Amino acid sequence: MEVFLVLGLPLLGALLLAMLGARRFAAELNVGISLATLMAAAVLVLRVIRHGSLLVWHDQFFVDSFNVFLVALTAFVGLTTSLFSRPYMRIEEAHGRLTPHRLRLYHSMYQLFMGAMLLALLTNNMGILWVAMEAATLSTVLLVSLYRTKASLEAAWKYFILCGVGIALALFGTMLLYFAAQQTLGREGMTALLWTHLNAVKTHLEPQVMGLAFVFLLVGYGTKVGLVPLHSWLPDAHAEGPTPVSAVLSGLLLNVALYAVIRCKILAEGSIGVALPGRMLMGFGLLTAVIGAFLLWRQRDIKRLFGYSSIEHMGIITFAFGLGGPIANFAALLHMTLHSLTKSSIFFTAGHASQTAGTQHMDDIRGLVSISPTIGWGLILGSIAILGMPPFGIFASEFLILTTAMRHHPWATPFLLLAFGVAFAGIFSKVQPMVFGESDSRRLPHSPALTPVFVHLALVLILGVYIPPALAAWYSSAAHLIGG
């Protein structure tokens, strides 16, 4: 029942908001649907904690400690982003950048996007997973192009083309997976692609076919993760789309795409019996982290800056999953959580900062802490958190990843340290003048409400000094399930 509520509420909300999304109360309705989805996700989490993994509706939906954690995270960030978007999008409408018709499109596509991501997380069928990822792509194309400017249309088109190529490669990988399943299970149709069935017989799947399938699936879904070299859509989509869309793209969609890669990695490792899938993740992850860090230095747009930061962090998480083992997987799951919370809060503050200054160009944004203390302190604290400064939790996850690499793959340590150092210098050197630099602008009479920002940062701070035993056990269970 809980699974159908988690999936059905966003889809029902998308239909409802397609009809009512232009009304003044549409933003509140969007928040209400997101809150109901979070409550359903919370009930689902409690059921999994009490009863373990669940198979629902003829085994078509599967819930375990790995995906239920991401369902909860997705529903939570979806709610806080809807709360943030309520006043933010109204200001955009007041400034003439949006019309009621486009707001209706935004609200309905937001819920459709959330529903597609939750379907990708909860489905047990690798074919439906591909369909859900494609639905998420199509809905976000419409969201990225919402402003209908030349730059936003170009960004949406680039996003559609690159991710379309990636999703086509993932489709071919899924077809190869179906071929391997058919040879082993002797089944046809949708049941041949059920992940639980494949996982039960993964040691008997044809190794050569599975190795080739994993290559296509990694490159295909890795395009949506933002892995180098198919990463160039991500900064443009972040910079040109509305800020709430940037927050959920960076904080949620990248996680869901990486989740698809890890599900495929589990099958490939069981079939091939060697560390090739893990080594591929480590290689792509290190390359992505280092190149993403260096590209930070070239940015002049505040949202593009943090878009490249997302590329760097997804590279770090991918590398950690490639390392495998309980500690590295634990650190990767923790880093996924902390990155989602921190990066979405940064985009919230970056959006208000660009609204206040009337531009996203960083050289024209100065003295935020004197113009609006909540924006200034939110941006600097978020930046410190994403750079891995203690006591924020990203320090703990990066420390675990680094020490595990030093123990098992010391050759990777210099590359990780290089990425950390270059990213730290690049972001801090650009954020510090924006927050504490001199400005001729007057102080805002009313600072914007940034409750979601400080709620996220408080959670990141708490997880840096104390991880509740129940949450640690949850991460550990998921880490052992992933294996490697």
Number of domains comprising the chain? 2
Structure-derived torsion over alpha carbons of residues 97, 100, 106, 108, reported in degrees to the nearest 10: 180
Domain-terminating residue out of 274, 290, 311:
274
Q: Residues 263, 363: one domain?
A: no
Give the tens place of pLDDT for each residue, 146-188: 888 888 888 889 888 888 888 899 999 999 998 888 777 666 6
Q: How far apart are the first and last CA of the chain?
A: 33
**Which of 332, 288, 302, 313 has the alpha carbon at shortest distance from 424?**
313
**CA atoms of 426 and 349, how far apart (whole Å):** 18
Q: Tell me the torsion sign for CA atoms 346, 352, 358, 364.
A: negative
Is 303 a member of any domain?
Answer: no
> Residue 210: what are its φ and ψ, rounded to 5°?
-65, -35
State whether 131 and 36 are in the same domain.
Answer: yes
For the record, the structure tokens of 45 come out as 């989490």
**81 and 230 within one domain:** yes
Q: Are 222 and 166 in contact (CB under 8 A)?
A: yes
Tell me whether residue 370 is in a domain. Answer: yes
Whether residue 405 is contained in a domain is answered as yes
Say whether both 242 and 349 belong to one domain: no
Q: What is the domain extent for residue 193?
A: 1-274
pLDDT in tens, 95-141: 888 888 888 999 999 999 999 999 999 999 999 999 999 999 889 99
Q: Respond yes or no on whether the N-terminal peptide bond of residue 373 is cis (omega within 30° of 0).
A: no
Looking at the fold, whether 268 and 416 belong to one and the same domain comes out as no
Range 449-468 average pLDDT = 91
Residue 318 lies in a domain: no
pLDDT in tens, 256-312: 999 999 999 999 988 887 788 889 999 999 999 999 999 988 888 899 999 999 999
Same domain, 368 and 268: no
Peptide bond between residue 391 and the one before it cis (omega within 30 degrees of 0):
yes
120 falls within a domain: yes
- Most confidently modeled of 34-43, 90-99, 246-255? 34-43
Task: Specify the DSSP element, H or E, that contains 454.
Answer: helix 451-465
Distances (CA, A) of 155 to 158, 164, 376: 5, 14, 28
Instruction: Tell me the DSSP string of 139-168.
Output: HHHHHHTTT--HHHHHHHHHHHHHHHHHHH
Residues 246 and 372 in one domain: no
What H or E segment, with its residue span, contains residue 55? Answer: strand 54-56
261 within a domain of the structure (yes/no): yes
Look at residues 274, 300, 321 and tell me which one is the last residue of a structural domain: 274
| Among 243, 258, 274, residue at a domain's last position | 274
77 shares a domain with 197: yes
**What letter represents residue 17's amino acid?**
L
Which residue from 50, 51, 31, 42 is spatially nearest to 69, judged by alpha carbons?
42
Whether residue 150 lies inside any domain: the answer is: yes
Interval 375-419: pLDDT, tens: 889 999 999 999 999 899 999 999 999 999 999 899 999 999 999
Do residues 269 and 342 share a domain? no
Regarding whether 74 and 218 lie in a shared domain, the answer is: yes
Please give the model's pTM, rounded to 2 decimal places: 0.94
C-alpha 251 chain-centroid distance = 4
Domain presence at residue 301 = no
* Residue pair 65/474 in contact by the 8 Å Cβ criterion: yes
- Do 73 and 218 lie in a common domain? yes
Asked if pLDDT for residue 189 goes beyond 80, the answer is: no
- The answer to whether residues 253 and 130 belong to one domain is yes
